[in-house]
Amino acid sequence: MSAARPAPRTVRLEPSRGLGRALSPGELWAYRDVALQLAVRDLKVRYRQTALGVAWAVLQPLLTMVVFTVFFGRLAHVPSEGGSYALTALAALVPWTFFSNALTVSSQSLLANVALVSKIYFPRVYIPAGAVAAALADLLVGIVLLLATVLAYGRTPSAGALALPLLAAVAAAAALGVGAAAAALSVRYRDVRFVVPFAVQLLLFVSPVAYPATIVPEPWRTVFAANPLVGVIEGFRWAALGTPAPWSAIGISAAAAAVLLAAGLLYFERAERGFADVV
Amino acid sequence: MTAAIATRALGKRYVLGARRRGYDTLRESLARAGRATLARLARRPGRSGDGETIWALRELTLEIGQGEAVGLVGHNGAGKTTLLKILSRVTEPTTGWADVTGRVGSLLEVGTGFHPELTGRENVYLNGAILGMRRAEVRRRFDEIVSFAEVERFLDTPVKRYSSGMAVRLAFAVAAHLEPEILLVDEVLSVGDAAFQRKSLGKMTEVAREGRTVVVVSHNLAVIQALCRRGIVLEHGRAIADCPATEAVDRYLRTLELAAAGDLLERADRDPRSWHDTRIRAVEVTAADTGRAGILVGGRPAAIVVHLTEELPGMDCRLSILNSLGQPVATLDSSLPSPADTRERGLGPAIRCELPWVPLVSGRYRLDVLVRARRHVQDGLQAAAFFDVEPGVVDGRPMPDAGAEGTVVLPHAWRLPE
């Protein structure tokens, strides 16, 4: 046996109280390799199982953009921002596609990983987190697609492009918060998996994806921004189309995302103790 | 010697009904889920109040020293698996605590902590990370793991295409080779071929000799006796004996005989998959020619009758005959049909299995019974009956006496020079 092995540490296993163990930073750090491998695994599985592979990350927002442009832009005369409905839609569809995929996959992640949950221990929050991380790779592809499309339209992205990582983080936080809570709920109530796709569908219409947020009149626009996607989408449009920087919307949405993340993880952590007993 | 595992008043309570029957149809499942959700919302939140709870483990206090090899024996539902699940951190105790010192490698029940979509290679690394190993450490051990599991050719195949035997072999190899200080193994040795069972038994002995701690659950008492110095008998979640392994095995066998002698309907250690539309009421083993109960004669006909509470259409029955150490000798399974089988209506709630002659050497045997119907396990009992076999005559030839090797008698004829 290797002599370099550090003295084994003693772990006390007992009924957890309060916040419990699974969100403790020490525990998360000790299992950091697992987090990385789970994210890599989710990516591999994602691209291995789809016939289109990475192309899917491009086609999904692009095809939706075409449909939106024809029906909402041309036929329904939905207003656009910065003069191009197609760009208005694509700037929203890139973060939207990320959010809806991250939310859907992470909400199903626990049930999809019953074998891991019921046989071995590691901080379970890494399962939905891995799903969101894998979706971030798609977002990266989507952002490249968006910037390329902007250039193809003969425009240049605004300084807002520098805020894209922050906006991605807001969207990821919201997706993980809701996704983790939904994943934990779905272990106990199997019908949650029917609810999530429906909720995502509704969310598409209460988010400014097919229309600009400016059609919502003030005072309501401030309330509207409590939907984290509002700040994210407006931020993406700022980056792509050079619309005015929507700082207040981004601020409100970031705060809302932080609340969702904290509440979602808290619920996940409370439910986590019983996972292996139910699945 | 420091303790690798120390528990104090460890207890685990499960809420019954948390895992109900699977849903049949989507419509039904929605209706049921709706009703259940309403019922749950009506209750005070935070209280898991399906009413009935069961203590799978109670007040368990024990200490296992570093380098000890300990066998856990007990009926189904005695708490063996629950204890291993707590020690491997898959589930939390309800009361008390357990101190675990060192890295834990575990193999819980049949099945593995593998991701079906990933290849064998990727899963080895994933499991290594979960055990707390760096990639480089896993790489050093990789070839050894793969050659032990004998899956070289399938390394880059997703695990979902593995046979269950292959998956368990790989899982065992990972758990045993990634240098855990504590190895927890639940019933793996019942899967896979005999050669692999021998090999993994050897590996566990080696792990124990290297000063690491091994805790084994097995119904195969010969394995417990061969591997462990110390044995712990669990019954209804409590440790009723903690003694040298051979004594523990004897003690457990006595509790098995006691259980088989009592009212089978009263027993709680039934197969956890059971739907219980029908239940095993009694099991009779009789010598068919003399009618003597519980004592068969080698080479003479016998009948095994499983009495049930209900007659269901299309029932099937599986009888496993095990020797006194819990090693399987033969399986009789009606779901593998023969033209000699008959199915009749109105036979009453009983299943009868007839043996034209008993091909077993003399000794004491045990019968495990599993009844299936409506595509589900309806009831299952281990050690539902015991019977003795007395030496007899097969094809006019006297059977070898109990001291001879083997457990079965084969009809045969010799051609010898005069």
Q: In this complex, do A190 and B33 lie within 8 Å of one another by their Cβ atoms? A: yes
- B344, amino acid identity: E
Q: In this complex, do A115 and B134 lie within 8 Å of one another by their Cβ atoms? A: no
Residues B359-381 have a mean pLDDT of 93
The least confident of A228-232, B134-138, B348-352 is B134-138
Measured between beta carbons, the chain B residues lying within 8 angstroms of A10 are 99-101
Q: Say if CB B200 and CB B181 are below 8 A apart.
A: no
Q: In this complex, do B108 and A119 lie within 8 Å of one another by their Cβ atoms? A: yes
Residues B306-323 have a mean pLDDT of 93
Q: Is the dihedral of CA B236, B242, B248, B251 positive or negative?
A: negative
Distance from CA of B312 to the nearest CA of A (A): 29
Q: In this complex, do B114 and A115 lie within 8 Å of one another by their Cβ atoms? A: yes
B122 has a chain A CB within 8 A of its CB: yes
Residues B220-249 have a mean pLDDT of 91
User: What pLDDT is stored for residue A169 in this prediction?
Assistant: 96
Q: Say if CB B388 and CB B365 are below 8 A apart.
A: yes
Topology (CATH level 3) of domain B267-398: Coagulation Factor XIII; Chain A, domain 1 (2.70.50)
Residue B266 vs residues B208, B271, B280, B381: alpha-carbon distances, Å: 39, 14, 10, 11
Distance from CA of A27 to the nearest CA of B (A): 11
| Residue B403 pLDDT class (50, 70, 90 cuts) | low
- A29, amino acid identity: W
Please tell me whether the overall predicted TM-score, pTM, comes out greater than 0.80 for this model. no
User: What pLDDT is stored for residue B415 in this prediction?
Assistant: 94
Site from B91, B127, B213 to mutate, A interface, most A CB atoms within 10 angstroms:
B91
Q: What percent of chain B shows pLDDT beyond 90?
A: 39
d(CA B230, CA B256): 19
Q: Say if CB B166 and CB B152 are below 8 A apart.
A: no
Instruction: Evaluate whether the domain defined by B3-21+50-257 bears CATH number 3.40.50.300.
Output: yes
Residues B117-127 have a mean pLDDT of 87
Lookup result for tokens 């004996």: B241
Residues B127-145 have a mean pLDDT of 85
Q: Residue B48: is its pLDDT beyond 70?
A: no
Sheet architecture: strand order including B280-287: B280-287, B302-308, B350-355
Residues B183-194 have a mean pLDDT of 74
Q: In this complex, do A115 and B116 lie within 8 Å of one another by their Cβ atoms? A: yes
| Residue B325 pLDDT class (50, 70, 90 cuts) | confident
Q: Which of A48, A113, A273 is opposite residue B92, by nearest beta carbon?
A: A273
| Residue B23 pLDDT class (50, 70, 90 cuts) | very low
Q: Residue A4: is its pLDDT beyond 60?
A: no
Q: In this complex, do B126 and A34 lie within 8 Å of one another by their Cβ atoms? A: yes
Q: Residue B47: is its pLDDT beyond 50?
A: no
User: What pLDDT is stored for residue B176 in this prediction?
Assistant: 83
Q: In this complex, do A190 and B87 lie within 8 Å of one another by their Cβ atoms? A: no
User: What pLDDT is stored for residue A250 in this prediction?
Assistant: 94
Tokens of B377: 């396990």
User: What pLDDT is stored for residue B76 in this prediction?
Assistant: 80
| Residues 6 or more apart whose Cβ sits within 8 Å of residue A83 | none
Q: Residue B208: is its pLDDT beyond 50?
A: yes
Residues of B (21-60) whose Cβ lies below 8 Å from A: 23, 29-30, 33-34, 36-37, 48
Can you give the residue ranges of every domain in chain B? Answer: 3-21+50-257, 267-398
Q: What percent of chain A shows pLDDT beyond 90?
A: 41
Lookup result for tokens 């699940």: B85
Q: Which of B33, B101, B116 is opposite residue A189, by nearest beta carbon?
A: B33
Q: In this complex, do B135 and A33 lie within 8 Å of one another by their Cβ atoms? A: yes
If residue B70 lies in a helix (H) or strand (E), which one and from where to where? strand B69-74
| Residue B35 pLDDT class (50, 70, 90 cuts) | low
| Residues 6 or more apart whose Cβ sits within 8 Å of residue A188 | A271, A274, A278
Q: Residue A241: is its pLDDT beyond 70?
A: yes
Residue B336 vs residues B116, B220, B333, B370: alpha-carbon distances, Å: 29, 25, 6, 14
Q: Say if CB B55 and CB B11 are below 8 A apart.
A: yes
DSSP-assigned beta bridge partners for residue B105:
B183
User: What pLDDT is stored for residue B42 in this prediction?
Assistant: 56
Site from A32, A37, A186 to mutate, B interface, most B CB atoms within 10 angstroms:
A37
B325-330: Cβ within 8 A, 24+ apart: B325/B220, B325/B221, B325/B222, B325/B225, B325/B249, B326/B218, B326/B219, B326/B220, B326/B221, B326/B222, B326/B366, B327/B220, B327/B221, B327/B222, B329/B360, B329/B365, B329/B407, B329/B408, B330/B408
Nearest to B222 by CA among B4, B16, B407, B8: B407
Q: Residue A22: is its pLDDT beyond 60?
A: no
DSSP-assigned beta bridge partners for residue B342:
none
Q: In this complex, do A121 and B103 lie within 8 Å of one another by their Cβ atoms? A: no
B95 to chain A: closest CA residue: A15
User: What pLDDT is stored for residue B24 in this prediction?
Assistant: 42
User: What pLDDT is stored for residue A20 in this prediction?
Assistant: 56
Lookup result for tokens 């959700």: B37
Q: Residue A225: is its pLDDT beyond 50?
A: yes
Condensed to tens digits (0 to 9), the pLDDT of residues B277-299 reads: 999 999 999 999 999 999 999 99
B377 has a chain A CB within 8 A of its CB: no
Residues B301-328 have a mean pLDDT of 92
User: What pLDDT is stored for residue A276 in this prediction?
Assistant: 73
Q: Say if CB B216 and CB B227 are below 8 A apart.
A: yes
Q: In this complex, do B115 and A41 lie within 8 Å of one another by their Cβ atoms? A: yes
DSSP-assigned beta bridge partners for residue B7:
B62, B98
Site from B117, B125, B213 to mutate, A interface, most A CB atoms within 10 angstroms:
B117
Q: What percent of chain B shows pLDDT beyond 70?
A: 89
**How distant is the alpha carbon of residue B374 from its chain centre?**
23
- Is residue B408 classed as helix, strand or coil in its secondary structure? strand
Residue B402: Cβ within 10 Å count: 11
**How distant is the alpha carbon of residue A9 from its chain centre?**
36
Distance from CA of B79 to the nearest CA of A (A): 14
A120 to chain B: closest CA residue: B90
User: What pLDDT is stored for residue B36 in this prediction?
Assistant: 65
Tokens of B340: 């000699």
Can you give the residue ranges of every domain in chain A? Answer: 25-272
Q: Residue A1: is its pLDDT beyond 60?
A: no
Q: Which of A8, A9, A13 is opposite residue B89, by nearest beta carbon?
A: A13
| Residue B111 pLDDT class (50, 70, 90 cuts) | low
Site from B47, B61, B115 to mutate, A interface, most A CB atoms within 10 angstroms:
B115
Q: Say if CB B314 and CB B328 are below 8 A apart.
A: no
d(CA A195, CA A205): 16
Residues B37-52 have a mean pLDDT of 53
| More confident of the two residues A179 and B348 | A179
User: What pLDDT is stored for residue B211 in this prediction?
Assistant: 85
User: What pLDDT is stored for residue B344 in this prediction?
Assistant: 85
The least confident of A171-185, B161-175, B222-236 is B161-175
Residues A65-83 have a mean pLDDT of 85
Distance from CA of B102 to the nearest CA of A (A): 4
Nearest to B298 by CA among B219, B224, B222, B387: B387
If residue B125 lies in a helix (H) or strand (E), which one and from where to where? helix B120-130
